[in-house]
Amino acid sequence: MSEPGPQVPDQDSAKVKPSLRARLKDVWGLEFANLRWRLLVCTLLARLLPEGRATELRTEFVRAIGIHIGKGTRFLSMPKIQCSYSGPLGERLKIGTQCVIGARVILEFGDVLTIGDRVSLADGVVILTTTHQLGPKEHRAGPIVRNPVSIGNDVEIGADAIILPGAKIGDAARVLPNSVVNASVAPGATVSGIPARPLRSS
C-alpha cells in the first residue's frame, strides 16, 4: 500500500489574512484619503474663539482654508463647511465684501456657491448645492445631482432659512426666517414660506 503524498492546501486555506497593520492602513486610506487637513485644523482653531468676537481672526482662519472672501466680511461663528469636490475650495465658494455670516451656518458646495457683496446670513442658515434625485419606492435616494447657487448683492437671508440647489437670489432680495428657497427669487423681492413665495404687496 503506497504512502499518501504531501497534502496540498486548497486555495481558501492558502490565503493569508492581512496583518492588523495592513488592515488599519486600508481603513485609514478609506476614511481619510480625502480629508482636508488645512480645513480640519483651521476649523478647530476657529471654534476655540468666543462666538460673536474675534470676527476678523475667524475670517482669516476661513481664508486660510483657501476660500475667496472679500474685504470686510465677518464670521460671527465658524460655519460648517461641507464639500465633496476634490479640487481647490476657492473654485467652488466665493464670498463678497462686507458680508456678515451668523452662527450655525452650513455652507455645502459640491457645486459652485457664489455669495455677493453686503450679504447677511442670519443664524442657522443652510445653503446646499447637492441633492439626490427621487428614486423608486424601493430606494428613494437616487443619483446625486449638483446645481450651483447664486446669491446677489445686498441680500438678507433670515434665521434658519434653507437655500436649495439651483436657487438664484437676485440683488436686494429678502428671504424671511424659516423659509425654503428652491427656485429663483427676483431682485428686490421678499419671499417667505415652504417653498418660499413672494409676499403680496398690500
Catalytic residue among 53, 132, 183, 194: 132
Q: C-alpha grid cell for residue 160?
A: 434658519
Which of 90-99's residues contact partners 24+ apart within 8 Å by CB, and which partners? 90/66, 93/67, 93/68, 94/67, 94/68, 95/67, 95/68, 95/69, 95/70, 95/119, 96/70, 96/153, 97/70, 97/71, 97/72, 97/73, 98/70, 98/71, 98/72, 98/73, 99/70, 99/72, 99/73, 99/74
| Residue 132 bears catalytic tag | yes
- Catalytic residue numbers? 132
